[in-house]
């Protein structure tokens, strides 16, 4: 009898050792099923803006690449953070925002090296900007977000910035003299436009339309999709294709939430961010041409700076390089940036 009991016990343990673990929803590799995650993603601009359109495309691609285990809900117009970009960065780091797409120029208030991207007339074209963002220098910038509690998934390029105003066509620095110009809350913008003769006025984006309408400011500068999507054509007469500054978008996610995802989900996010970088560059090129025609149809007068006229603005910026290096607060990084774009001398 004792032998039969011993045999039965041995059989039980053998069968228990051969049984397979039941897949769980806590997910990961090794055949486990990923738990479905729903995340919010905030953008600063209207629903029809190129960045919000790109964010929605990103959400779609992430859903496909994660086999539906990640659902991203996109909220435009800064609605999730009250239109305050500084608050948005803090909320992202704290985890009350899951994901955020915000411009590099605004991140410069937290990590000054981001300001290097927007040095006036630094990049020759979007391809050079993209190469820079994907370089080791770009990786350094993404890694610098970690102390803020933010994981940088990647960069998306942004169309170069143009000027609008309600007073006159801008053909050179002399035409900016005395114009009250809205700029982002970034000292690089303030220094450049002040040197060019304008009266730069830092202001949150959500306040710009009313300020233009009430004529408390005369003009603003942004990529060309913004005057269209934000309806600035209703309160601005002149558009100058100046291509005076580059900017980019940081695709950020709360670091703890990223760490809590499975490796497959993490890969889906990073791969989608990279894929949308190329998608958005093409989308922007197509949309910018349409935006010019749209703004013309709304009565805006448009002039494009010649190479010689651009040089006049670039000549304003060049003597400011030492001051820009101070704003970046890392002369070595700034020097490597100038070397990358061939403007070290």
Residue 93 and residue 223 share a domain = no
Helix, coil or strand: residue 343: coil
Residue 205 and residue 60 share a domain = no
Count of Cβ atoms closer than 10 Å to residue 34 Cβ: 21
- The answer to whether residue 310 is domain-embedded is yes
Write the CB contacts of 230 (distance below 8 Å, at least 6 apart in sequence): 45, 46, 49, 208, 209
Amino acid 32: pLDDT: 53
Amino acid 204: pLDDT: 86
Residue 221 and residue 282 share a domain = no
Domain housing 127: 35-158+247-288
Write the CB contacts of 334 (distance below 8 Å, at least 6 apart in sequence): 116, 324, 325, 328
CATH code of residue 226: 3.40.190.170
Amino acid 33: pLDDT: 65
Residue 305 and residue 284 share a domain = no
- The answer to whether residue 14 is domain-embedded is no
Number of structural domains in the chain: 2
Residue 170 and residue 150 share a domain = no
Residue 227 and residue 112 share a domain = no
Residue 150 and residue 95 share a domain = yes
Q: What is the spatial distance between Cα 114 and Cα 333, in angstroms, rounded to a whole number?
A: 10
- The answer to whether residue 27 is domain-embedded is no
* Single pTM value for the model: 0.84
Note down pLDDT in tens along the chain; length 345 residues: 444 544 443 444 434 444 333 333 434 443 456 789 999 999 999 898 899 999 999 999 999 999 999 999 999 999 999 999 999 999 999 999 999 999 998 999 999 999 999 999 999 999 999 999 999 999 999 999 999 999 999 999 999 999 999 999 999 999 999 999 999 888 899 999 999 999 999 998 889 999 999 999 999 999 998 999 899 999 999 999 999 999 999 999 999 999 999 999 999 999 999 999 999 999 999 999 999 999 999 999 999 999 999 999 999 999 999 999 999 999 999 999 999 999 987
Residue 205 and residue 83 share a domain = no
Burial 233-254 (b: 16+ CB within 10 A, else e): bebbebbbbbbbbbbbbbbbbb
Distance of CA 40 to the CA centre of its chain: 16
Distance of CA 73 to the CA centre of its chain: 17
Between the alpha carbon of residue 239 and those of residues 84, 214, 221, the distances in Å are 26, 19, 9
Tokens 């499975």 locate to 262
């Amino acid at each position: 009898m004792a032998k039969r009991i011993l045999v039965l016990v041995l059989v039980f343990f053998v069968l228990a050792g051969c049984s397979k673990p039941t897949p769980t929803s806590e997910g990961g590799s090794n055949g486990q099923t990923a738990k479905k995650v729903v995340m919010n993603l905030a953008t600063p601009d209207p629903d029809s803006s190129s960045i919000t359109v790109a964010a929605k495309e990103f959400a779609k691609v992430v859903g496909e690449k994660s086999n539906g285990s990640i659902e991203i809900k996109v909220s435009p117009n800064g609605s999730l953070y009250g239109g305050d970009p500084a608050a948005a960065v803090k909320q992202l780091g704290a985890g009350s925002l899951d994901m955020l797409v915000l411009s590099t120029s605004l991140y410069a208030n937290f990590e000054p090296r981001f300001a290097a991207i927007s040095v006036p007339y630094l990049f020759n074209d979007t391809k050079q900007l993209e190469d820079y963002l994907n370089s080791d220098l770009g990786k350094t910038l993404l890694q610098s977000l970690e102390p803020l509690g933010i994981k940088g998934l990647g960069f998306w390029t942004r169309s170069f910035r143009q000027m609008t105003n309600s007073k006159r066509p801008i053909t050179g620095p002399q035409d900016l003299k005395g114009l009250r110009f809205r700029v982002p809350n970034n000292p690089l913008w303030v220094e450049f436009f002040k040197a060019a003769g304008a009266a730069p006025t830092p202001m949150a984006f959500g306040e710009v339309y009313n300020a233009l309408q009430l004529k408390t400011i005369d003009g603003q500068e942004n990529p060309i999709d913004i005057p269209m999507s934000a309806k600035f054509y209703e309160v601005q007469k002149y558009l100058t294709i100046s291509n005076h500054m580059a900017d980019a978008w940081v695709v950020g996610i709360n670091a703890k939430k990223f760490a809590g995802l499975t490796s497959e989900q993490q890969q889906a996010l990073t791969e989608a961010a990279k894929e949308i970088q190329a998608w958005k560059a093409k989308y922007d090129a197509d949309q910018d041409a349409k935006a010019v025609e749209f703004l013309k149809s709304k009565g805006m007068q448009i002039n494009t700076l010649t190479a010689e006229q651009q040089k006049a603005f670039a000549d304003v910026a060049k003597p400011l390089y030492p001051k820009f290096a101070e704003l970046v607060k890392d002369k070595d990084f700034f020097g490597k940036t100038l070397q990358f774009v061939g403007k070290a001398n």
